[in-house]
Amino acid sequence: MSQIHSTAVISNDATIGSGVRIGPFCVIEGGAEVGDGCRIAAYVAIREGTSLGAGNVIHEHAVLGGDPQYVNAKGPFGKVVIGAGNVIREAATVHRGLKADHVTRIGDGNYLMAGAHLGHDCVVGDHNIIANNTLLAGHVTVHSHAYISAAVAVHQFCRIGSYAMVGGQSHVNKDVPPFVTLDGLTSRVVGLNQIGLKRKGFRPEEIAQLKAAYRVIYRRGLTWSEVLAELAAEFSSGPAAAFRAFFEGGQRGFMPERRTPRAASVKLPHEPTSDDQAESLRKVG
């Protein structure tokens, strides 16, 4: 049986599961869905088009399903679909898809800390931690098991790979590859996220493979096409195979390493180039 505070305002067109607890002064609009066993603290707004799976915990003043922050937005807007077992802390905001057929999506087991913002059309996978006052612009994708520290700003359409660690106050304007650490002071890649990988149960031989792939990407001074070819040849299986798959999906370029070898001919933040373009850039390295 659900427990709903007498001051909560819940539309007759909202769907509330069993065992749900809803605190004082919440607003749940028509068309919203709250799954079984969710706990909704005081002053939470769950807007039209928002769907929560089972066992989510939503803290005070969070707003789920707000309209997109886009000056030319006219609606009708899309949805927010949130999986199961997430924790969304105080004053976090998640906005609906920009168009009627668009979805802002959060998977399972994520932890969004106070003041975190997910813009329209973001896609967040499973078991990510997004810390206080981190801002994800529209169309940002976060894969799974990433840690995004406090006060990080992520540009629209960027991607953050699985098991990446993004340091506090980073300015992310290109894709962050999986498994790496981004330094908050410089917003540059500073190596593998080794502590996070060990905590997630990666075996020593898997971490060694990731180190070898990291050297191919950042340390051998290869052109972009050579990097992709070497990754395909040397790391067709195991966790390091995820590097090439991630790079092939890139549209904005990739965050560079803080330390750049002298022999490098094409720096990673550039867009992937043809062999002719790579040759013309070779003299710049």
DSSP state, 108?
S
* Buried residues in 35-68 as b, exposed as e (16+ CB within 10 A): bebbbbbebbbbbbbbbbbbbbbbbbbbbbbbeb
In the CATH hierarchy, which fold is given to the domain comprising 3-142? UDP N-Acetylglucosamine Acyltransferase; domain 1 (2.160.10)
Domain range annotation of the chain = 3-142, 199-284
User: What is the distance between the alpha carbons of residues 141 and 149, in angstroms, rounded to a whole number?
Assistant: 16
Tell me the mean pLDDT in the region 62-68. 98
Tell me the mean pLDDT in the region 21-49. 98
> Which residue is catalytic, options 59, 61, 95, 120?
120
Tell me the mean pLDDT in the region 239-243. 98
Residue 28 confidence class, pLDDT cut points 50, 70, 90: very high
Tell me the mean pLDDT in the region 75-82. 97
> Which residue is catalytic, options 35, 59, 121, 175?
121
Tell me the mean pLDDT in the region 256-280. 56
Residue 282 confidence class, pLDDT cut points 50, 70, 90: very low
CB 3, CB 37: distance < 8 Å: no
Is the pLDDT higher at 10 or at 269? 10
Tell me the mean pLDDT in the region 196-205. 97
pLDDT (0 to 100) of residue 56: 98
CB 135, CB 120: distance < 8 Å: no
Query: Does residue 83 have an active-site annotation?
Result: no
Tell me the mean pLDDT in the region 135-144. 98
Query: Does residue 275 have an active-site annotation?
Result: no
pLDDT tens per residue, range 105-130: 999 999 999 999 999 999 999 999 99
Tell me the mean pLDDT in the region 44-70. 98
Q: What is the DSSP string of 129-171?
A: EE-TT-EE-TT-EE-SS-EE-TT-EE-TT-EE-TT-EE-TT-E
User: What is the distance between the alpha carbons of residues 43 and 34, in angstroms, rounded to a whole number?
Assistant: 16
pLDDT (0 to 100) of residue 9: 98
> Which residue is catalytic, options 23, 138, 161, 184?
138
Among 150-159, 231-240, 263-272, name the one with the lowest average pLDDT. 263-272
pLDDT (0 to 100) of residue 268: 58
Query: Does residue 183 have an active-site annotation?
Result: no
Tell me the mean pLDDT in the region 145-172. 98
Tell me the mean pLDDT in the region 156-176. 98
Is the pLDDT higher at 282 or at 90? 90
Tell me the mean pLDDT in the region 227-247. 97
Superfamily name with CATH number, domain 199-284: Udp N-acetylglucosamine O-acyltransferase, C-terminal domain (1.20.1180.10)
Reduced to 3 states (helix: H, G, I; strand: E, B; else coil), residue 228 is helix
Residue 267 confidence class, pLDDT cut points 50, 70, 90: low
User: What is the distance between the alpha carbons of residues 30 and 15, in angstroms, rounded to a whole number?
Assistant: 8
For residue 33, give both structure tokens. 């869905």
Tell me the mean pLDDT in the region 253-266. 73
User: What is the distance between the alpha carbons of residues 230 and 237, in angstroms, rounded to a whole number?
Assistant: 13
pLDDT (0 to 100) of residue 275: 47
Reduced to 3 states (helix: H, G, I; strand: E, B; else coil), residue 80 is strand
